[in-house]
Structure formats: structure tokens, C-alpha cells
């Protein structure tokens, strides 16, 4: 089993790259943002609670998101590996994920961290906001708040995985194809090493 965390600030290309990566490697894609948005559209109690957080650009409480991930892992016992997109977003989520994967006798293979400048992030999210209908993309103030949340709460997740020498920082600027090529180069290197062991 090979599990990947695609890491980076909002707008760094996690969701975009996940689509092509899961199809290239046959992984199961788990995006907490997508899971939360589908709960919101279905107007479930979890979705009604989550909406207030997403609209303001702040993080949904850890216990809610960890519960969702635990169910997603249980629902996919035969997955050849998982691509985590937008999760973990706090050190507490990272520790919970490590424990859940340990129960499945697996762990994180690599954390691929996409590096994009703040001005480029704001530009991309405002552009997506013109068509996505996402309330958190259409207001520059909310976008800047999401970037602050990333710097204050989420960046520490990379520090957690750096302790285990799992983090690879990559340039997330350029065309989608260029970024995809950088990501696959790193994944292929690790898969080759794993197959040697």
C-alpha cells in the first residue's frame, strides 16, 4: 500500500492535481473539502454545522473531520493506497491519521508539498470564485483569512512529517502539466524504492 498526502495552501493545486494523480496511480482520492461540501449540499446535520466554518474560511473542528476520515478508510478496505487532499490540516489531524493507518498496518509514504506564492494563490482562488459558486472563493478577505489559517494552523503539519523525513517540497507554479510531471517524478522514485525492499 502506498499513501500520499498532497499538501499546500488553499489554491496551491491540491484538488486539481489529485484528479490526474488518482487516475495515474489507481489510488483512492480522499478530499475533506469535497466530503464537507457534499454534506453541505445534502443539508445533513454535519453539513449544516460545517457550512458556518467553510463560509468564514476557518477550519472545521478536528473531531468532525477525523470522524469523516475514519469512515472513509473503513468504507475502502481494498484500496491499493490513498491520496489525501486537504487533510491533515492540523497536527492533531496528522496524529489521528497516523494512528488510523497504523491500525491498517500501513503509513504515509510521502508528503508532497506544493509551494506557490501568496499573490498567485489569491489570483487563482478569485478566478475560481467567478465560476465555482464557492462562497469561500469569491471574497478576497475570506481568501486572505484562509491563507492566515494555513500559516498559523496547517503549516505545522509539514513539521510533523519532516520529523520522519517524509516531506518533499515542490514548485507548484507553472502549468498544470509541469506541476504534474514534478509530482510523478517524486512518486515514481519512491515506488521504485518500495518495490526494491
Neighbours of 34 (CB within 10 A): 14
Question: Minimal distance in Å, beta carbon 5 to ligand B4P?
Answer: 11
Number of helices (H) and strands (E) in the chain: give both, helices first: 9, 5
DSSP calls for 168-183 = EEEE--S-HHHHHHHH
Nearer to ligand B4P, 110 or 124 (CB): 124
Residue least distant from ligand B4P (Cβ): 33
Nearer to ligand B4P, 3 or 93 (CB): 93
Question: Minimal distance in Å, beta carbon 20 to ligand B4P?
Answer: 11
Question: Minimal distance in Å, beta carbon 177 to ligand B4P?
Answer: 8
Known active-site residue 14:
yes
Known active-site residue 146:
yes
Backbone phi, psi, residue 16, to 5°: -60, -50
Nearer to ligand B4P, 89 or 187 (CB): 89
DSSP calls for 46-101 = HHHHHHHHHHHT-PPPHHHHHHHHHHHHHH-TT-S-EEEES---SHHHHHHHHHHH
Q: Which residues contact 147 (CB under 8 A, 6 or more apart)?
A: 9, 10, 118, 121, 122
Nearer to ligand B4P, 54 or 108 (CB): 54
Question: Minimal distance in Å, beta carbon 166 to ligand B4P?
Answer: 18
Catalytic-labelled residue, pool 51, 134, 166, 169: 134
Where do contacts with ligand B4P occur on this chain (CB under 6 A)? 10-16, 32-33, 36, 53-54, 57-60, 65, 86-87, 89, 93, 124-125, 127-128, 136, 146, 175-176, 179
| Contact criterion met (CB below 8 Å) for 28 and 83 | yes
Residues catalogued as catalytic: 14, 89, 128, 134, 146
Amino acid at each position: 500500500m502506498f499513501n500520499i498526502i498532497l499538501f499546500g495552501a488553499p489554491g496551491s493545486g491540491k484538488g486539481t492535481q489529485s484528479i490526474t494523480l488518482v487516475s495515474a496511480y489507481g489510488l483512492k482520492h480522499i478530499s475533506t473539502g469535497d466530503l464537507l461540501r457534499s454534506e453541505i449540499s445534502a443539508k445533513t446535520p454535519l453539513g449544516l454545522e460545517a457550512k458556518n466554518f467553510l463560509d468564514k474560511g476557518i477550519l472545521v473542528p478536528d473531531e468532525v473531520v477525523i470522524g469523516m476520515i475514519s469512515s472513509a478508510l473503513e468504507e475502502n478496505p481494498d484500496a491499493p493506497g490513498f491520496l489525501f487532499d486537504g487533510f491533515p490540516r492540523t497536527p492533531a489531524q496528522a496524529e489521528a491519521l497516523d494512528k488510523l493507518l497504523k491500525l491498517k498496518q500501513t503509513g504515509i509514504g510521502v508528503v508532497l508539498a506544493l509551494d506557490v506564492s501568496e499573490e498567485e494563490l489569491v489570483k487563482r482562488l478569485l478566478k475560481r470564485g467567478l465560476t465555482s459558486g464557492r462562497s469561500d472563493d469569491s471574497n478576497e478577505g475570506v481568501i486572505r483569512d484562509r491563507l492566515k489559517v494555513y500559516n498559523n494552523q496547517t503549516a505545522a503539519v509539514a513539521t510533523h512529517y519532516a520529523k520522519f523525513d517524509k516531506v518533499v517540497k515542490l514548485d507548484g507554479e507553472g502549468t498544470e502539466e509541469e506541476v504534474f510531471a514534478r509530482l510523478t517524478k517524486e512518486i515514481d522514485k519512491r515506488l521504485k524504492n518500495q518495490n526494491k525492499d
